[in-house]
Amino acid sequence: MLPYIILGLFAGSIYALASLGIVLTYKTTGVFNFAYGGVAMFCAYVFWQLRDQWHLSQWLVIPILLVVVAPILGLILEAVFRPLATASAEVQIVVALGMLAFFINLVPIIFGGADHQLTSIFSQGHFHWGKHVVVTWNEAGTFLLTMAMAAGLYVLLRRTRLGTATRAVVDNRDLAELIGVNAGTVGQAAWIISTGFAALAGILLSTDEGLVTYVLPALVIYAFAPAVLGRLTSLPLAFVGAVALGLLQNILARYSTTGFPAKLEGSIPYLALFVLLVIYGRRLTEVRSSLRPLTGRASTGSPRWQFGGGLAAAVAAAIVLPQVLGVSIQHDVAEAMAYSVIALTLVVLTGWTGQISVAQMSFAGVGAFTAAHLAGTHGSLFPLAVVLGVAIAVPLSLLVGLPSLRLTGLFLALATLAFALLMDNLVFGSTSISGGLTGLNITAAKIGPLSLKTYTAQFYLCLFVLTIVGAGVFWLKRGPVGRRLQMVRDAPDAAATLGASLTLTKLAVFAAGAAVAAVGGSLLAVTQQTVDPSNFSFNQSLELLLVVVVGGRLLVAGALIAGGLYLVTLLPLPSVVDKYFPLLIAINVIFLANEPDGTLAVAIRQTRFCLAVLYRRPRPDVLLPVPSVLPPTGSRELSGQHG
Amino acid sequence: MVEPLLAATDVTVRFGGLVALDHVDLEVAPGGITGLIGPNGAGKTTLFNVITGLRQPNQGRVLLDGSDISRWPTQRRARAGVARTFQRLELFVGLSVRDNLLSAWEASVSGGVFGRSGAEGRARVGEVLSRLGLVSVADRRAGELPTGLGRMVELGRALCTRPRVLLLDEPSSGLDAAETARFRDLLLEVVGQDAGGPSVLLVEHDVRLVMEVCDQITVLDFGKRIASGPPEEIRDDPAVIAAYLGDQGVTDVA
Ligand SMILES: Nc1ncnc2c1ncn2[C@@H]1O[C@H](COP(=O)(O)OP(=O)(O)O)[C@@H](O)[C@H]1O
Ligand SMILES: [Mg+2]
């Protein structure tokens, strides 16, 4: 047992470092740093570059990282998030997720995408402890180093002026500023320290697990559960929780290193995250709760011509596109339209109801794998498979939604994140469901007599479903359902005091979203023909959220743009596009998070602005922000007075 | 004494160490306006939250028409006829003024979200819009309105649910003198309707307005009820004068 405990302490102490860093910035600035894993990975690659490529002494490299790189990164992050201090939780989360994607996509560009083995920063050997127990210097060194860092943080917060100021800000920000504490400086310090911890955690983790682009951020998500244990505000609880988590995982590993227990071991942190969120429930409140609601310009009822225009465009696409597009591009477009169907669920969920989900692709995966299992061998079962996929996705969404939809904003986003990762590990990761790494084939799906083998047939099917779902969603938005969603989004308390049930509304949207995502997933399965678990992973859900944000999360058109962006990754374009495209999306998200109408809306507004300036016809609604004072009798009288 | 329409009994709310409400009792008689006053931080808004179910009290009950609604979720209380406005505006900023009211109607009737009784709802909304003078801004987005109009929209939203008790939280803050006067007339008109207008529980910092329109007044201070009675009594109550009105208040009232 003892060796496992030692391993557990070793792993737990690295988690502790990350948990402390996450809690520190959250409690001082109110920002939950989803990008923590990305930052950790970035720093680990810098370390690799400097030590293993340029052969600098690591005793020079580590100080450089902690004194130069981490503070610069920390200050950049602080500068990004400071203007968002009073923004709605939704915007903060979107930006943080955009940051995560930014780092994940930046690393391959700067350092090349290859994975590396890193040797430990401690000497190679081991020593004996007692008679039977062997402890490597890596384990011992890591443990001691992290303990020293934690102790240093404790002393810093308890014994220095910075610590006093930090506690004042955490206690009551306004009061602290009133008595002359500079909350901005405190925030900067917190970001610098937190990023330093991220750098260390990144290096220590990658000497253990290898330096792999996708693994490291996921490992850092392990630290979310301990952070939530301390309700994101208690450093000691986060620390204890992290060590306990490491111990639990490794003690479990004692019993089995294969099969389900092994999978469970990897899933425990996500399971713990989900369970903790559910148990704490409404007792989790965000440290900054007085936040501006977010509105776009397009969210009051859209004119009818958009509806007609959309339908006309769909018909035109049906007639024209198959004539002008090559067959393989038709196929790509079909796949992109399936993707748009899934994106539409996110428009409703995130854009219209204000709930952030990073699990939509998991529900799509349910549809896809159901389709592959059923219709893979018997193509004519495809319609049944779609229905069955929905029938599985809906109860699953209720299972997740019922306990977690009492949560709001950040905590709901965390719950969907935990769910998505659990699905990845336990469901899509299991060979009997996913068919292993190569996935499952579905090549001969049919709807009645109609074969979906040809790309043109797939194109028509996807176009048809997208049109139906798009039109349906658009139509709902204009009626009572749309109003109900907007109520829940803009002012949940008011909605409840008028008689609307928040839980029912959110649950209905969540379940409907899961159902439609499952349908979209089975369409994806048909177009992709090979259903591969990695297409439905948490990373894909994250990517989906980001392209929807860029497209415009309040707009049906936003989902279409999201599909278009996905199409870019399918088309045979020069590799430089593939290389930089995800990074551009991430950067776009960071800048556009405040614009729920997305890129296109912003572009239109800017164009109008430029035109107005060019032609010297100042249009008040373009040039000025929303008027703040109006005579109570309306604007007609106003213009009358002047005219 | 008449059976109260709405009653809160023995309500206690704690926020950590802070006792925001300390065994508070409150009654709202049917028909008419009951005032709830007290200095900032006295616990008035918290009491509203307890009555509407947005906050569970540590102790105490809320009765509507004699039946205990303490365990009901917020939306059920709303459907039973409890409506309110908010001190810090809680508008549906992305909806037009008309849709703010319409959505309130839809929330208050069962099946409203599926468009049931839509015609009736639109009629009600039209009626309320014109009574509150909101017709000219009906199609403007609520988030663009100045505070004064925003408060009117919140009032209209509450009225659309055909409440039996209407809780107004500082409805005149942010209004100028003329707007306040208009609001007072409107309030009296709404309550005085022959067809069973709502009873009103009014939280208001404008003491003059409260004295003018209320039939009964309850005074809170530091979470405790320090007085309760008709305006004339409250005006002369030494505890109220000392705790709430202060020097300026005495001259104000005199
Ligand atoms: N959510 C809350 N958390 C902590 N304290 C609160 C909360 N809401 C109100 N309080 C405190 O409770 C007391 C009563 O507040 P409130 O009911 O808003 O007073 P009033 O409406 O009479 O001005 C105040 O001291 C306030 O700071
Ligand atoms: Mg108040």
Bridge partners of residue B13, in order along the sequence: B21
Q: Is B44 in the pocket of ligand 1 (CB under 6 A)?
A: yes
Adjacent-strand bridge partners of A527: none
The answer to whether residues A236 and A334 belong to one domain is no
> How are beta strands A126-129 and B18-28 bridged, if at all?
unpaired
Instruction: Tell the CATH topology of B1-81+163-254.
Output: Rossmann fold (3.40.50)
Look at residue A584 and tell me if it is in a domain.
yes
Residue A76 lies in a domain: yes
- Residue from the list A481, A486, A496 with its beta carbon closest to the beta carbon of B95: A486
The whole-number pLDDT of residue A616 equals 66
Confidence band (pLDDT; 50, 70, 90) for A597? confident
Reported as a single tens digit per residue, the pLDDT across A3-33 is 888 889 999 999 999 999 999 999 898 899 9
Query: A60 in a domain, yes or no?
Result: yes
Round to whole Å and give the CA distance between A370 and A500: 35
Inter-chain CB proximity A483 and B99 less than 8 Å: yes
What is the distance in angstroms between the Cα of B231 and the nearest Cα belonging to chain A?
A: 29
Q: Span A588-610, mean pLDDT? A: 85
Question: Quick one: pLDDT at residue A219?
Answer: 81
A243 within domain boundaries: yes
The complex scores an ipTM of 0.93
Please provide the size of chain A in residues: 643
Contact assignment for B52 to A497 by CB distance below 8 Å: yes
Of all residues in chain A, the percent with pLDDT exceeding 70 is: 92
Looking at the complex, does the CB of residue A308 fall below 8 Å from at least one CB of chain B? no
Residue of the nearest CA to atom 26 in ligand 1?
Answer: B41
Q: Helix and strand tally (H, E) in chain B? A: 10, 10
Q: Is A494 on the interface with B (CB under 8 A)?
A: yes
Query: What average pLDDT is seen over chain A?
Result: 87
Question: What is the Cα–Cα distance from A376 to A448, expressed in whole angstroms?
Answer: 15
A308 within domain boundaries: no
- Say yes or no to pLDDT of A437 above 90: no
| CATH number of the structural domain spanning residue A231 | 1.10.3470
How close A505 comes to chain B (CA, Å)? 10
Judging contacts by C-beta atoms under 8 Å, the chain A residues touching residue B154 are: 494
Q: Which residue has the higher pLDDT, A193 or A219?
A: A193
CA A393 – CA A388 distance, rounded (Å) = 8
- Please give the Cα distance from A530 to B203 (Å, whole number): 64
**Residue A300 — pLDDT band, cuts 50, 70, 90?**
very low
Best residue among B26, B45, B46 to mutate for probing ligand 1's pocket (most ligand atoms within 8 Å of CB) is B46
Residue B82's DSSP bridge partners are B165
Is residue B41 lining ligand 1, measured as CB closer than 6 Å? yes
B25: left (phi over 0), alpha (psi -120 to 50) or beta: beta
Q: Are residues A249 and A125 in the same domain?
A: yes
Identify the closest residue of chain A to B133 by CA–CA distance: A633
User: Can you tell me the distance from the alpha carbon of A392 to that of A99, in angstroms, rounded to the nearest whole number?
Assistant: 33
SS (H, E, C) B214-248: CCEEEEEECCEEEEEECHHHHHHCHHHHHHHHHHH
List C-alpha distances in Å: A478 to A400, A486, B9, B116.
29, 11, 43, 15
pLDDT digits (tens, 9 = 90+) for A43-61: 999 999 999 999 999 999 9
* Residue at A634 is within a domain: no
The pLDDT tens digits of the residues spanning B173-198 come to 888 888 889 889 989 988 876 567 89
Q: Do A493 and B86 touch (CB under 8 A)?
A: yes
Q: Read off the tokens for B116.
A: 């049931």
Task: Over range A245-271, report the average pLDDT.
Answer: 83
Q: Which of these ranges, A78-82, A282-286, A384-388, A427-431, has the smallest mean pLDDT? A: A282-286
Q: A226 and A124, same structural domain?
A: yes
Instruction: State residue B176's pLDDT score.
Output: 85
* B175 interfacial to chain A (CB closer than 8 Å): no
Pairwise CB contact (< 8 Å): B148 & A301: no
Cross-strand partners of A136: A126
Residues of B within 8 A of A633 (CB-CB) are: 133, 136
Q: What does the alpha-carbon distance between residue A223 and residue A194 come to, in Å, rounded to a whole number?
A: 13
User: What's the pLDDT at A370?
Assistant: 95
Place of tokens 């050997």: A125
Question: Average pLDDT for residues A592-604, to the nearest whole number?
Answer: 84
DSSP code, position B48: H
Interface of B with A in 32-61 (CB under 8 A): 52-54
Q: How far apart are CA B32 and CA B45, in angstroms?
A: 20
CA–CA gap between residue A222 and residue A226 (Å, rounded): 8
- Say how many CA atoms lie within 13 Å of A245 toward its Cβ: 36
Instruction: Decide if B133 and A293 are in contact by the 8 Å CB cutoff.
Output: no
The predicted pLDDT at position A612 comes to 81
Q: Flag whether residue A323 sits within 8 Å of chain B, measured between CB atoms.
A: no
- What DSSP designation does B177 have? H
Residue A288, pLDDT score: 62
- Give the pLDDT confidence of A123-141 residue by residue, as tens digits: 888 888 877 788 888 889 9
Q: Distances from the Cα of A576 to the Cαs of A580, A587, A588, in angstroms?
A: 6, 17, 18
> Are residues A248 and A358 both part of a single domain?
no
* Ligand 1 lined by B112 (C-beta under 6 Å): no
As a whole number of Å, the CA-based R_g of chain A is 26
B166–A contact, CB cutoff 8 A: no
Q: What are phi and psi of A620, to 5 degrees?
A: -55, -40
Residue B43 CA, closest ligand 1 atom number: 17
User: Do A256 and A335 belong to one domain?
Assistant: no
Are A351 and A555 within 8 A, CB to CB?
A: yes
| Closest Cβ–Cβ partner in B78, B136, B179 for A497 | B78
- Which of A134-138, A200-204, A388-392, B210-214 holds the top average pLDDT? A388-392
The reported pLDDT for the residue numbered A298 is 52
Q: How confident is the model at residue A625 (pLDDT cuts 50, 70, 90)?
A: very low
Q: Are A338 and A224 contained in the same domain?
A: no
Pick from A228, A263, A283: which residue ends a domain?
A283
How far, in Å, is the centroid of ligand 1 from the Cα of A46?
49
pLDDT cut 90: percent of chain B above it: 67
3-state SS, A539-593, equals: HHHHHHHHHHHHHCCCCHHHHHHHHHHHHHHHCCCCHHHHHHHHHHHHHHHHHHC
Q: In this complex, do B92 and A491 lie within 8 Å of one another by their Cβ atoms?
A: yes
pLDDT over threshold 90, residue A235: yes
- Asked whether residue A612 is domain-assigned, the answer is no
Inter-chain contact A490–B144, Cβ cutoff 8 Å?
no
Name the burial class of residue A2, with classes exposed (0-12), middle (13-18) and buried (19+) by CB atoms within 10 angstroms of its CB. exposed
Residue nearest atom 7 in ligand 1 by C-alpha distance: B15
Measured in angstroms, how far is the CA atom of residue A409 from the centroid of ligand 1? Answer: 23
Which among A300, A479, A629 is the nearest to B115, CB-wise?
A479
Read off the pLDDT band of B71 (50, 70, 90): very high
CB within 8 Å: A480 and B149: no
Measured CA to CA in angstroms, residue B236 lies from B32, B41, B225, B232, B247 at distances of 22, 23, 16, 7, 13
Secondary structure percentages of chain B, helix, strand, coil, to 5 = 45, 25, 35
**Is the Cβ atom of B148 under 6 angstroms away from ligand 1?**
no
Tell me the residue length of chain B.
254
Residue A24 has what pLDDT?
94
Tens-place pLDDT, residues A316-357: 888 888 888 888 899 999 999 999 999 999 999 998 988 899
Q: What is the side-by-side order of every strand in the sheet holding B18-28?
A: B18-28, B6-15, B59-64, B67-68
The pLDDT assigned to A101 comes to 94
pLDDT over 90 at A254, yes or no = no
Q: Are residues A18 and A74 in the same domain?
A: yes
Q: How far apart are CA B82 and CA A569, in angstroms?
A: 54
Whether A278 is covered by a domain: the verdict is yes
d(CA B124, CA B126): 5
Share of chain B above pLDDT 70, in %: 94
Question: The tokens of B47 are what?
Answer: 């009491």
Rounded Cα distance, A279 and A300, in Å: 37
Q: Does A208 lie in the same domain as A347?
A: no
Q: Cα separation of A469 and A14, whole Å?
A: 46
pTM above 0.95, yes or no: no
CB within 8 Å of chain A, chain B residues 125-144: 133, 136-137, 141, 143-144
**CB proximity A483 to B under 8 Å:** yes
A480·B113 Cβ contact <8 A:
yes
CA distance A207 to A202: 9
- What is the pLDDT, as a whole number, of residue B208? 85
Amino acid in the structure at residue A386: V
With bands split at pLDDT 50, 70 and 90, how would you rate the model's confidence at A2?
A: confident
DSSP letter string, B67-112: EE-TTS-HHHHHHTTEEE--SS----TTSBHHHHHHHHHHHHSTTG
The Cα-based distances of A157 to A164, A190, A230, B240 in angstroms read 7, 11, 17, 45
Q: Are A480 and B92 a contacting pair at CB < 8 A? A: no
pLDDT band for A358, please (50, 70, 90 cuts). very high
Query: Cα(first)–Cα(last) distance of chain A, in Å?
Result: 88
**Token pair for A381:** 């079962």
Quickly count: other Cβ atoms within 10 Å of residue A47's Cβ.
26
Nearest to A139 by CA among A241, A4, A6, A5: A6
d(CA A290, CA A287): 9
Residue A483: its chain B contacts at CB < 8 A? Answer: 92, 95, 99, 102-103, 106
Pairing mode, if any, of strands B33-37 and B199-203? parallel
Interval A199-215 mean pLDDT: 85
| Whether A480 and B112 lie within 8 Å, measured CB to CB | yes
Distance B41 CA to ligand 2 centre (A): 7
Closest Cα in chain B to A508: B113
In chain A, residues with a C-beta closer than 8 Å to the C-beta of B115 are 479-480
Contact residues for A459 (Cβ-Cβ < 8 A; gap 6+): A321, A322, A330, A331, A333, A334, A337
Decide the pairing of beta strands B165-169 and B82-84. Answer: parallel
Which residue range(s) make up the domain with A103?
2-283
B192 Cβ under 8 Å from any chain A Cβ: no
Q: pLDDT tens, A401-418?
A: 988 888 878 899 999 999
Residues 6+ apart with CB under 8 A from A384: A374
Contacts of B158 in chain A (CB under 8 A): 498
Domain layout of chain B by residue ranges: 1-81+163-254, 91-161
Chain A nearest CA to B145, separation (Å): 7
**B43 CB under 6 A from ligand 1?**
yes
If one counts the domains in chain A, the total is: 2
